[in-house]
Structure 1
Amino acid sequence: MRNPIPGTAITIADLAARLGAPFEGQGDVIVSKAAEPQDAGEGDLALAMSPKFAPALAQTRALAAVLWQGADWQSFGLKAAILVSRGRLAMAGVTATFDPGLGLTPGIHPTAVIDPSAQIGIGAAIGPLTVIGAGARIGKNARIAAQVSIGAEVTIGDDALIHPGVKIGARATIGDRLIAQPGGVIGADGFSFVTQEKSAVEEARESLGETVEAAGQPWMRIASVGSVVIGDDVELGANVTIDQGTIRATRIGDGCKLDNQVHIGHNVVVGRHCLLCGQVGIAGSTVIGDFCVMGGQAGAADNLTIGAGAIIGAGTGVLSNVPKGKAMMGYPAVAMQTHVEMYKALRRLPRWIGKLRGDG
């Protein structure tokens, strides 16, 4: 079945086919947008994928809804319903159907500045005040919004969606179907500095802080001459920053999703289909395996390995290697169950101290 243009009306029968879910009632009912049940009008699709939303359905004016499996849809006065087993999975298909996008049409805005040597793919849309550097190659059907900066010799694959204000540094290589939210920076210089003689930081690291005798020295910059390589189907949240490698490339694998304000340091390698939540920070040269998940504000020190499938809880500080498949939490990171036991013990500590003092 041919997919509808995002943001257009669709029949319940066609939407059910897109979702791979059964529908009941009148398949020719047309809906044009999704809404919460209490806010949905006659032309809207009410979303109530769990029985807990049943009270709100009693207030709806919608004629059709997406409901949980086994729902008595007729009791809510609906003319049609799509019944789903996984609400969030259905939500992905519903929102993709009704997403209006950025409203960009193919063509190059007259205020865009594009180097004559750059190659722009068929069907691309280039927004106002966007700058594209020498030798850059933009894939077909790319949608690039206003005030985007794309450096020299950057390669971006097909079907990219780049929101306003994104900055992509020179020589970055990006696969197909990139989604980059506003303000992101791909290919900033890495945070690499060195002193003429051994620094206090190096001494502290070697001695674990026992001796720090080095005198203060100015920092000399180590330039980043590597690049950034990003795979297919990667999504970057608002204000994501990815540093280019010092010599070799910083790499983000296929299918990775990076939330707002995630920072990826120089030379980091992130495997395939990783999920990095808001404000995650990865220090330089750390390697993250495939299918890892890191919760909000988690961080990893430099030159570590986090094994494939590891789950790092929110706020966790990873200071040593993590085996594959491990769930870690705390600062410093320990096994999640161990952290829970440590937290329980910490909460009991005042009571234990009181007993030792004889406070009753």
Structure 2
Amino acid sequence: MSKIYVIGTCDTKEAELRYAAERVSVAGADAVLVDISTTPSTATADVTPEMVARHHPDGADAVLGHADRGRAVTAMGEALSHYLRSRPDIGAVLGLGGGGNTSIVTAAMRVLPIGVPKLMVSTMASGNVAPYVGPTDIAMMHAVADVAGLNAITRKVIGNAAHAAAGMALNAVPETMQDKPAVGLTMFGVTTACITQIRHLLDQECECFVFHATGTGGQCMEKLVDSGLLTAVLDITTTEVADHLFGGVLPCTEDRFGSVIRGRIPYVGSVGACDMVNFGGRETVPAQHALRNLYVHNPQVTLMRTTGPENVAIGRWITERLNRMDGPVRFLLPLQGVSALDAPGKPFHDPAADAALFDAIRSSWVPAPHRKLVEIDAHINDPAFAEAAVHAFREIT
């Protein structure tokens, strides 16, 4: 039977962790107590810090014995990630603790597939939890009182968390045979018309999952690819790359496109909304950009038009990753504009800047039988472009 991995630092929270493991057992599940202390611990856990630390790529010495607590915590998070990935019997993961423990446990939780229950009881859970949760399905539960002793409050909170973890593990959501393949699509407000048309064309044959290209949205889509929950991608809106390269507030990470490279799944992509970098309200735009072509989308969002040199960098960055894809790839260039704002009479219409983007992709492209660059003489939101994207998708799936 799958087990509940109860994880924390036994050097400071042994009683609380043992109470959680006890409640898991009372609820009918098997508990495994994992000690991730980075200072000497006399606890007798099922899995000791040394056992976890040995899973670090550089060995246990890279984790234990550091005078620098920050380095030790980071290394233990990496070791725990490798440890959990090696376990075939995880029914759920339950973590307890403050800032350091939350950092270690959630780092490891984030490497697990979507759908594996992950519950973190944390003193940090009432604030900004984005750095801990990332693009995953981690549930954060506020500890209310510090996880520093058992009392009327902590027993209730920890007990409820233990019962919840056991309930998730013992009542797994049944797998269903989907008649339709699961496909991920990336969309921004300025490419909504395109994605809506694609969805309508594919609805009868695919289950479409749309991800808003807000940085986290792209990461969520790629996490689902890594988890095996998406079988193909229509990555039409790659605007997060512009923010990543030029200081916008909705950036991707260096691993953008990495899941497709690793998974070799069918990929249809484009340069949707690569004509813009996102900032907050107008007053948040950096002073060095004050004279740039800015468009106030709403009081909270200001867009900056990308220049020709910026588009060259964007095109090369994307193409370098496309060239590493070994699965079937079609990448489409909408020659008449890449967003709703990049059209004749619209504020970001700049054919020269678009040409720089397209030329950078053409010049960096490495042709291969499975990988083709397709130029469409249409705007990205035109029906002709949506039809071409669907045609390319059907060609490689």
What is the TM-score with the length of structure 1 in the denominator? 0.22
Larger Rg computed on CA atoms: 1
Q: Which has the higher contact order (CA 8 A, sep 6+)?
A: 2
What is the TM-score with the length of structure 2 in the denominator? 0.20
